[in-house]
Amino acid sequence: MQFRTAIAGFLALLVAALLLASAKLANDMAPPAAPATPAAVSAPAADPAKTANVITISNFTFAPNNLSAPAGTTVTWTNNDDTIHRVMITDLKVKSNALDTGDSFSYKFDKPGTYKYFCTMHPVMTGSWL
Ligand SMILES: [Cu+2]
């Protein structure tokens, strides 16, 4: 009888060992934890305000007042104020007509460069085109 008890004990240990081993195997086979999701990487979108070719005059301000667009771009200023404004591109000595509410003035910048402009009626209103 002692021999059978020893066998039973051995078998019990064997079963326990097999259970442990299979548990560890199952654990090893579990899919690895998903890596932390990286922050969405997106190319910085071009700032539409800076690439637009339309400049709004509103509240005695050019918006955007620092515009960038490729050479050959026609830029249009539109006056949304109740006041008359007059755009002058300083270095080019190009001057718009008096722009009443809703009036627009367009100018095609043929050469790349930095151009400053201002309102001849309100010289504190300035902007530039790059
Ligand atoms: Cu003005």
Mean pLDDT of 36-60: 65
Domain-embedded: residue 37: no
**Domain range for residue 2?**
1-31
pLDDT at 90 over 50: yes
Residue 42 in any domain: the answer is: no
Same structural domain, 60 and 124: yes
Is residue 39, in this structure, part of any structural domain at all?
A: no
Residues above pLDDT 70, as percent of the chain: 60
> Residues 56, 7: one domain?
no
116 Cβ contact partners less than 8 Å away, ≥ 6 residues apart: 89, 90, 91, 126, 127, 128, 129
Distance from the alpha carbon of residue 73 to the mean position of ligand 1, in angstroms: 23
Q: Based on the fold, state whether residues 61 and 122 are members of the same structural domain.
A: yes
Find the 104 Cα to ligand 1 centroid distance in Å: 13
**How many angstroms does the Cα of residue 128 sit away from the middle of ligand 1?**
15
Indicate if 67 and 21 belong to the same structural domain. Answer: no
Whether residues 57 and 103 fall in one domain: yes
Q: Within this chain, do residues 77 and 120 fall inside the same structural domain, yes or no? A: yes
pLDDT at 106 over 70: yes
- CATH number for 92: 2.60.40.420
Listed range (3-7, 76-80, 90-94, 109-113) with the worst mean pLDDT: 3-7
User: Once rounded to an integer, what is the mean pLDDT over residues 54-71?
Assistant: 90
Residue 75 near residue 116, CB atoms below 8 Å: no
Give how far Cα 129 sits from Cα of 44, 66, 85, Å: 21, 6, 18
Query: Does position 13 have pLDDT exceeding 70, yes or no?
Result: no
The answer for residues whose C-beta is within 8 angstroms of residue 76's C-beta and 6 or more apart is: 53, 54, 55, 104, 105, 106
Cα-to-centroid distance, 122 and ligand 1 (Å): 4
Q: How far is the CA of 44 from the centre of ligand 1 (A)?
A: 34
Number of domains in the chain: 2
Q: 83 in a domain, yes or no?
A: yes
- Amino acid 18: pLDDT: 46
Q: Indicate the residue type of 92.
A: L
Neighbour tally for 11: CB within 10 Å: 10
